A and B are shown apart, each in its own frame.
Chain A
Amino acid sequence: MQSVFSPRRARGLSLIEIMIALAIGSLLLVGLVQVFAASRAAYQTSEGMSRVQENGRFAMEFLQRDLRMAGHYGCVNDQAHMQSVDSLDNHFPVATGASWGVAFPNSNPAVGSPGGSIRGYEATNTEPGQTVTLGAATAGWTPALPPVIAALNPLPGSDIIEVRYLGEEGLPVINIANPSAAQTIFTVPAARWATFNADGVGAPTMFGIADCSFANVFPAAAVNPGAGTVLVNAFIDRYVAQPVGTALLHRAESFVYYVANGASGQPSLWRARADVAGTFPVGGREELVEGIESLQFLFGLDSVVDITVTPPSGFITQQSTGAGVVNNPMNWRRVGMVQVGILASSPDTAAAAAPQDAQRRRALGVVFAPPAVPDGRFRTTYETTVAMRNRLYGN
């Protein structure tokens, strides 16, 4: 019997057969590659879209949280404190460009304070209606950046905002002592000291004490977490310890939000925390969200124009960019609402075509033109309106 697979019966393929097989095979292969390429592009686009969406959501979450707290000085906000001399005392040296991080408000006009609870820096050529070309934005901000903020290397074409407030959670002051005529020691429950270490602040140095009448913001000369004490080189005797009084000790916060290059080389949203010297040390700079290419802010101003004569009404009637507010520095005290716009781009290329002129992304009226060399990133904008919860006193 002969086997079916006997070598004698193997004949091989002719050239024609091979050519036809190759032609059909390569045709199928090209089709397959096409299908794979299309599905890869679709995957990249949906991946880019979801990354952009989650980045935008996180950026908004951080910004909303801190903007809502701006102006929080305990029981009464900074606007109300500023109505009466000495209601809000600031024990920091008067802030200069080299110590701008500690530009907390001060209600004593004789001492004065150039800063405040909120302040924006409007990037040049980013007024509503203007166009910013990504990667080629005009440098400069209005007002000019203080040297300590310029040292953060913020990217042009993106607004910058600074906020100052007393931290969300205060600890009850259970003892107040004056060891000398120029010193005060506040004691809080040591078991709850961890409240002051929230958000990764290992060694808090800036504090504020407040009750429903007064507030004092000061640098700590020494802290002792084990005993729950904070030493201040100032004589502060106008508070009554709990439970008779209502004084709470808070950590004082001073932040700058800006856009700068992140670890990946892409623009990212950054937050810098000021230290007690008023600078923004490298250790206090955090890259919060990658792929945020631009921040835009509009400020809502109270209907009361001269807030030094008439208390604010809480009725927001005017909208302005940071550059518009700065025409009269007093206007920063009128801010009761902030509109935020962000431009988020995907961290990786997402097979997105450069948008046509009519379909360019816009945030708060600012138009973003694609980079000169298309980079295939997916981009979109998000906008939100934040009521400055603590300044809307009485509602």
Chain B
Amino acid sequence: MNFPENLMYTESHEWIKKLDEKTALIGITDYAQHELGDIVFIEFEPMGKKNKKDIFCNLESVKAVASAYLPVSGTIVEANAKLAKDEEFELVNNSPYDKGWLIKISLSKPSELSQLMNSKAYKKFVEEAK
């Protein structure tokens, strides 16, 4: 299981990667995709201003559906085009931290990032959950 060090994590298994001062990419973790199984569909919420903990998409596998929650507040500016077009959902399973990113967000409260877990803390969190 993968826990890249340059990312921040949530207890609901999302990761966030700062691109610059104002924007970041968000996706779900390796642990999350593994629990969900083969992803067959992703339904994105409409773009726009959202708060931390709002649902930004629902991921469906054959046997389950799970919501993904925003780690921070901001405006969703982009959804990963490959996924939004109903294609290549396996990217989220195979490359959850890279090609399988879900949304790009413009941060409204960058200080919220400090409330998240780093790689080490998240790894511990996952191991304890098991």
Do the two shown chains form a genuine complex with each other? no
B residues at A contact (CB < 8 Å): none
Q: Give A residues with C-beta under 8 Å from B.
A: none
